[in-house]
């Protein structure tokens, strides 16, 4: 599957994406459509991050 180092790189990439989503939502507080869209994307990202954290714990 993946090595622990590869999983850590993926986790860092997810953090960058999460920061991007937060910035876009902060910049578009008045646009409800963009807020809802990025909120849904961020929730999916959080679910993947949780699964990834479990995988990292299992590889220890």
User: Which tens digit of pLDDT belongs to each residue from 30-53?
Assistant: 999 999 999 999 999 999 999 999
Mean residue pLDDT across the chain: 93
CB 10 within 8 A of CB 2: yes
CB 8 within 8 A of CB 56: yes
What percent of the chain shows pLDDT beyond 90? 90
Q: What's the whole-model pTM score?
A: 0.81
Spatial CB neighbours of 42, under 8 Å, sequence gap ≥ 6? 18, 21, 22, 25
What percent of the chain shows pLDDT beyond 70? 100
Burial class (CB in 10 A: 0-12, 13-18, 19+), 45: middle
């Amino acid at each position: 599957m993946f090595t622990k180092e590869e999983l850590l790189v993926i986790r860092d990439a997810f953090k960058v994406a999460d920061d991007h989503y937060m910035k876009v939502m902060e910049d578009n507080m008045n646009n409800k459509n963009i807020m809802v869209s990025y909120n849904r994307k961020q929730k999916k990202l959080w679910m993947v991050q949780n699964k990834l954290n479990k995988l990292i714990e299992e590889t220890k």
